[in-house]
Structure 1
Amino acid sequence: MPETTQADPDAAVKERKAAVEKKKAEHEKKQQAAAEKAARKGSTPLMRQYYRLAARHPQALLLFRMGDFYETFDENAEKVSRILGITLTTRNNGSAEEVPMAGFPHHALEKHLPKLIQAGLRVAVCEQVQDPDEASGVVDRDVVEVVTPGANFHEELLDPKRSNYLAAVSFETAGRKEDRAGLAYVDATTGEFYVAECRERDLEGLLETVAPSEVLLDKRRADRLREALGLPEGEPFDEQRAFSVSEQEDWVFDYDFAYETLLRHFEVHSMKGFGVDDLDVGLRAAGAALHYLGETQQGSLDHLRRLRRHRREDFMALDAETKRNLELVHTMQPGAGSGAEGSLVDILDETRTPMGGRRLRRWLLRPLQKLGQIEKRQNAVEALVRSRRLRENVQTELKQVGDLERLAGKVATGRAGPRDLVAVKKALGRLPGVAALLDDESCDTLRELSENLTPCAETSDLIGRALVDEPPNKIGEGGLIREGYDDELDDLRETAKGGKQWVAQLEEKESERTGIPSLKVGFNKVFGYYLEVTHTHSENVPEDYIRKQTLKNSERYITPALKEKEEKILTAEEKAQRLEQELFTELRNQVAAQTADLQLNASLLAMLDGFASLAEVAEREGYTRPNVTEQRTLDIEGGRHPVVEA
């Protein structure tokens, strides 16, 4: 009997990894060459740095941090000036010609960023990554984030009640799946990640169902996507669609590269465990989407914990015309614009949380097709219609939860601030109450929901012990860690507090010692602590006072004892601030370790919020439960149209 041999899976993995590394190296080499070529446009070190960074992100507008401002140059400056309505100036470029420049204060980023994105731009945010005092030449800078329509965490750019999907589309080029298209979509703010395949003629309907904000595409396949969407050759996508299209390098959609990207992220040897291993075309899109997020967000994506299969047979596909005619999420009423007011989602949305609103919207855009799933949803809504008290109590609890789904995403990606963690604690604190309300419920759907809630009591307790009840918004502002949480921090605070008390008492002591009643102790960032004496009493100044600054009506002095105490105070405060930041980062990492539980709780609460919303509207409007069967019969008696009635 002849020997049989099996392919070595480890060898296959090594081969794929080698192919990935080769492609990445070739890309980085080309990118570096382009950056160095672009840098030669600058005649000063600063401008060479700018051109080098801009060349690394050719599809984005670079916001270049200079001190307290974000600056833009050349044609980017002209765009920014026009879009934001700010003054266009020029900057010296050494021996080269002056270049156009436009900028705005760094604290105005959240104000201006939405305008730039809404204008169809992608924005690369470049920060100073080195302390200017430590720089021997030009301060080191790097791009820390690329903000795009489908890849961003900025609340100003997000609709609280709408998912923000980044999608990627891939096409089969040969073989038995030649007419197949792959689609992956991911919401970076919540961690949802799905993949699907369909016939090319069904792609438009699938995209309409998902409703992404941005679609990634192999730049060689642009005409194929136009054909699938029914667009004329060469016509821009953005003018006809609600999403923007970002064309990517072809190698990003290469199967080996995409597959290895997914394996590395999920830390697995195969995608079989996710039930998607047979979706070759879809996995190309999934890998491309994951790569794009990694390149743009420059941070952890640990909250993308699972790649799920989008089962098209579970949902009814609704094309754009059907959604428009049914006024599901936008009204057709004259003068109503493109808003949701008066649409079906507006009428049915009585949710108490943003994530519940997103779930309800998704239900409307993706109607269920399987009878069992439909009846489970109906059973939950009916139970909440029959018990108004239960529904109202549930909604009272939900109102205190907030957007746990997006909070979990911020925690996992290292973007959560002190107030975000307190909001997580507040949300977790409502879980026992919700579970208790549903424990004795006879409806299986609601009871199972309750049983799957995970209180995360230890996480909630940890946040409560670590953070004050009302912390500052930013970590660097200090005063966020609760007294008693860390002994070293308490000691440093006590040292700083004791020093300040000594300084406060110094004014009275020195006034008595010198006989100068108007003597004041002050502080500024330039000179630190000082003793201020008016010129009227200059003859009473002791010999141990050292003149530091002369003002119009007074002199400022220091003493060796005052400077010694100042150093202790400032050193303690600096150490305390640094330690607070370390303690907060450690706390956030500990909470991030519970991301899976946070996401599960958020999903269950969003579902419950959707049920309660439908129940409230049903009771208010007198809606009845339809009897759904497998038959093709449609029998409506006394039918009413919610949108028409509104």
Structure 2
Amino acid sequence: MPLTLKDIEGEKLSPMMEQYVAEKNKRPDCILFYRLGDFFELFFDDAILVARELELTLTKRDCGLSERAPMCGVPHHAADLYISRLVNKGYKVAICDQVEDASQAKGLVKREIVRIVTPGTVTDSAALDETKYSYIASVYKAGHVFGLAACDVSSGHFETTALLSEAADRRLVDELSRLRPCELLINQLGSKDLTILSWLRENDIAVTILSDDYFIPADIDPDILEYSDRDYLWPNASAALVRYIADNQLQLPQNIRKIFPYRQQDYMLLDQSARRNLELTETIRDRSYKGSLLWVMDRTKTSMGSRLLRSWLEQPLLNQTDIEARLDAVADFLDQFIVRENCREMLAGLYDLERLSSRIGLGTVNARDLIALKNVLERIPSLRSELENLVADTLQDLVSDLDPHADLYTLLERSLVDDPPISLTEGKLIKQGFNEEVDAYRDISERGQDWLLEYEQREREATGIKNLRVRYNKVFGYFIEITKSNLHLVPDRYIRKQTLTNVERYISEELKEREDKLLGAKQKLNDLEYELFSEIREQVKMNLPSLQRTARALAGLDAYAGLADLADRESYVRPEITDDNCLTISQGRHPVLSRLTAQSTFVPNDLELDTLDRRCMVLTGPNMSGKSTYMRQNALIVLMAQMGSFVPAQSASIGLVDRIFTRVGAADDIGSGQSTFMVEMTEVATIMTQATTSSLLILDEIGRGTSTYDGLSIAWSVLEHIADKSYLGCRTLFATHYHELTDLAELKNGIFNAHIAVSEKEGEIVFLHQIRPGGTDDSYGIEVARLAGVPQSVVTRARELVMQLEADNQGKRLVMRKGAKQQEGQIDLFSTARSVYEADKLIAEIEKIDIDQMRPIDALSKLHDLIQIAKKMRNQG
């Protein structure tokens, strides 16, 4: 068995191995990459693990014991690639580098852990998806409520909030589903929460459980985290996240600025089901980007703009003023075609300044990064000039944040060569003319090269060896190389240094003397260039806050210009945003399907929902006719409008929607042991308890996972309660094959019928994809089966059976009119569930009250809120 760290406890190791073990013991939770010359080496347990995970060759090295230590390694210049692969597998990696020049070291070279990379703290752009934020999240649970914080270390983007309302655990999971962190920090209590555990089982995320002490915010720099005694939970989650990032980066990146919480009530809520069913960022079928709403909408030119647009799509607004401000910005760009096109052309190919800012803050940028920064700054003056006539307030604010950093640009232009090497210690970084001392050393070095060429020619003539060469390597320095066929011509003044298969290598006193001068000058030149570069890097860091503002401005301009381009090319219109609960869409189109198909072949449709007689549409029609497409398209139009985009319609008036619920599709939840029907009913229960009068419900085939009578009864009851203003009364699209539900339009106020038109001729059906008023009694199921390729014998037999069934039932369908009225004394399960839910809500509100911290006016305000909740419970009871 190979040696492990446990095997060597208490043993006397070699000095280098003692150093390795000491550093490894500082972070036993990490894989240690230990720098040895041009390689990062791994020993003992880490070597065994990494060799297996990355398929590297496992070798051995002397460690001072009789048995050799397991070892594997990777070249230092390719280390980031291997580190990324390990981090993607969920491992943490500690990088132990040389912190002194090996040539200047006395004895063992000093090494220290200089950086720790975890799944959530990656800053290398090559290892990240440039189109989305890469979050590390922190959750702090106290009682039944939570604090949440999330940060993309690579950009400095930080979000935090408290989840204090009813069903806080569900809200937390909805937010985590939006953020999709690749690493999660959580306190002990939170790690035992069943809702969180269920979500973690479904998502492959690295989890670190920390003690509550780690979440105490008291000693966090107030310039970063400022809070009062009345702020609850979000400071705890934020404190842990800040502390963890600082611990792993060995400093807090300077691109993480002051933290402010966001309020959930400012944004439309979308749960996991809605995000999946609406295919916002990936399709349901194969989880591909193509075919998603984002695929259609993202016309950005930079990775910064792409990330911002994604965040808008995943978190639509609820504030009408904020939505109108975004729409104004899109309209401004839409009206100014030339300005928009010039802006997009200037933004095209622009370097990711947002993520570059992280490396600037950490001090890890190289010369190529700074050349990329220079190229960004070079475009700012002309971009500002191009955009000076924009009139939207939002765009004017963004343009004013575009700082050309003229002094910084001049410094970078004067100091750095246009195509510098990646290495910072081997010279060739600084331009000629920037520093006199650099120029002097470089002159010595260049003249030394001329001398070497002259010396080589002179020695050829003196010895008569025509193929004599003067060469250089890091081991021997400069040497004279002579083929073996010419060895009889070698003069006595040459000193043999090395024998190879075909050549001999020599030095001379004259060459050695010149080498000392040349290499001395070259080393001094390299050291000086690195010193100057470090000074330049520090000056860049001093501009970090304004560089971040510029990055945010570029991202915003890119996102708005992209939305305007989308509206222009796809003939989108500006939606009207209202504060009522109406929804009117004329000639609406599905944004994805109308893009995938020719617009001339896609059939647009209208929708009109109001607060009176048209709250709930019961939609009937055959499979494949377009019911699901129609319902989804209207939900997507609402979402697009509230994210600040123009929409695919002839006109649209959107009454603000606080939450979109979807119940579509069928799938077992095998992991939690739930059947298709149980999953469906769980989602229905969530909708019935969490929806409000301002929500939009998309319900497809409620009740189909059980027997006909049970399914129809459940669907009927659900629809009754949704339509009832005293219970919910929200805007709803309800697709069903239970044609009996169309009777509800005559029995319940607010419900109306619609159907998908079908043309039937000589036994053939054609889907017209048109929404028409009224219900329909035919689902054309057998015809759909035939179109799907079911064998003709099966289709024929099905027709015989349906004719027999109709004959047996004398052509009648189920009738619910007599049984629709609730019997006296009968328990109303939905109302009971709602009452329990409201009671839990009232109890939760009371539990959150801290009398000692409340002012009299706050106490009166809270008492008023509690009275309103109690009155609502009485009215519903």
Please give the alpha-carbon distance, in whole angstroms, between the structure 2 residues aligned to 1:626 and 1:360: 18
- 2:141–2:189: 8 Å Cα contact kept in structure 1? no
In structure 2, the partner of 1:191 is 156
- 1:203–1:228: 8 Å Cα contact kept in structure 2? no
Cα 1:565–1:349, aligned 2, differ >3 Å: closer, same or farther? same
Q: Confirm or deny that 1:159 pairs with 2:111.
A: no
How much has 1:476 moved relative to structure 2? Answer: 2.5
How much has 1:440 moved relative to structure 2? Answer: 1.5
Letter in 2 for 1:326: L
Unpaired stretches in structure 2, ≥5 consecutive residues? 597-877
Q: Deviations over 1:126-171 (max 9, x none)?
A: 2344555666665443322221111111223311011112221113
- 1:352–1:609: 8 Å Cα contact kept in structure 2? yes
In structure 1, the partner of 2:51 is 81
Q: Deviations over 1:31-67 (max 9, x none)?
A: xxxxx99972655234444443333223322333344
In structure 1, the partner of 2:194 is 227
In structure 1, the partner of 2:24 is 54
In structure 2, the partner of 1:390 is 339
Cα 1:474–1:71, aligned 2, differ >3 Å: closer, same or farther? closer
1:110-509, aligned counterparts within 5 Å?
Answer: 110-132=80-102, 139-172=109-142, 178-199=143-164, 200-201=168-169, 202-223=171-192, 226-229=193-196, 231=197, 238-241=200-203, 243-253=205-215, 255=216, 258-263=217-222, 266=224, 271=226, 278-299=230-251, 301-332=253-284, 334=285, 336=286, 338-509=287-458
How much has 1:228 moved relative to structure 2? Answer: 4.6
1:567-606, aligned counterparts within 5 Å?
Answer: 567-606=516-555
Please give the alpha-carbon distance, in whole angstroms, between the structure 2 residues aligned to 1:554 and 1:179: 79
Please give the alpha-carbon distance, in whole angstroms, between the structure 2 residues aligned to 1:511 and 1:62: 52
Q: Deviations over 1:13-34 (max 9, x none)?
A: xxxxxxxxxxxxxxxxxxxxxx
How much has 1:318 moved relative to structure 2? Answer: 1.6
Residue 641 of structure 1: SS of its match in structure 2? Answer: coil
Please give the alpha-carbon distance, in whole angstroms, between the structure 1 residues aligned to 2:488 and 2:40: 50
Please give the alpha-carbon distance, in whole angstroms, between the structure 2 residues aligned to 1:132 and 1:436: 51
Letter in 2 for 1:190: S
Residue 425 of structure 2: SS of its match in structure 1? Answer: helix
Q: Which moved further from structure 2: 484-493 or 562-571?
A: 562-571
How much has 1:315 moved relative to structure 2? Answer: 1.4
Q: Deviations over 1:92-145 (max 9, x none)?
A: 665586665444333442332232222222222223445556666654433222
Between the two proteins, the alignment pairs up a number of residues equal to 586
Letter in 1 for 2:56: I
Identical-residue share of aligned pairs (%):
37
Please give the alpha-carbon distance, in whole angstroms, between the structure 2 residues aligned to 1:342 and 1:580: 51
RMSD: 2.8
- 1:466–1:481: 8 Å Cα contact kept in structure 2? yes
How much has 1:554 moved relative to structure 2? Answer: 5.7
Q: Deviations over 1:583-638 (max 9, x none)?
A: 11110110111111110011011011111111111122211111011111111121
Letter in 2 for 1:210: L
Unpaired stretches in structure 1, ≥5 consecutive residues? 1-35, 173-177
- 1:545–1:559: 8 Å Cα contact kept in structure 2? yes
- 2:245–2:252: 8 Å Cα contact kept in structure 1? no
Cα 1:547–1:85, aligned 2, differ >3 Å: closer, same or farther? closer
- 1:259–1:283: 8 Å Cα contact kept in structure 2? no
- 1:422–1:463: 8 Å Cα contact kept in structure 2? yes
- 1:42–1:96: 8 Å Cα contact kept in structure 2? no
Letter in 2 for 1:114: S
Please give the alpha-carbon distance, in whole angstroms, between the structure 2 residues aligned to 1:619 and 1:534: 72
Letter in 2 for 1:206: E
Please give the alpha-carbon distance, in whole angstroms, between the structure 2 residues aligned to 1:447 and 1:95: 70
Q: Deviations over 1:416-458 (max 9, x none)?
A: 1111111111111111122112212233332332223221111
Please give the alpha-carbon distance, in whole angstroms, between the structure 2 residues aligned to 1:206 and 1:566: 64
Cα 1:360–1:492, aligned 2, differ >3 Å: closer, same or farther? same
> Which structure ranks higher in relative contact order (CA pairs < 8 Å, sequence separation ≥ 6)?
1
- 1:43–1:93: 8 Å Cα contact kept in structure 2? no
Q: Which moved further from structure 2: 311-320 or 130-139?
A: 130-139
> Higher helix proportion, which one?
1
Cα 1:42–1:73, aligned 2, differ >3 Å: closer, same or farther? farther
Q: Deviations over 1:550-591 (max 9, x none)?
A: 556665443333222111111111011111111111101101
- 2:184–2:207: 8 Å Cα contact kept in structure 1? yes
Q: TM-score, normalised by structure 2?
A: 0.63
Residue 345 of structure 1: SS of its match in structure 2? Answer: helix
Residue 345 of structure 2: SS of its match in structure 1? Answer: helix
Letter in 2 for 1:165: Y
Q: TM-score, normalised by structure 1?
A: 0.84
Please give the alpha-carbon distance, in whole angstroms, between the structure 1 residues aligned to 2:105 and 2:425: 22
Cα 1:415–1:131, aligned 2, differ >3 Å: closer, same or farther? closer
Please give the alpha-carbon distance, in whole angstroms, between the structure 2 residues aligned to 1:243 and 1:378: 37
Cα 1:492–1:277, aligned 2, differ >3 Å: closer, same or farther? farther
How much has 1:386 moved relative to structure 2? Answer: 2.5
- 1:130–1:140: 8 Å Cα contact kept in structure 2? yes
Q: Which moved further from structure 2: 45-54 or 495-504?
A: 45-54
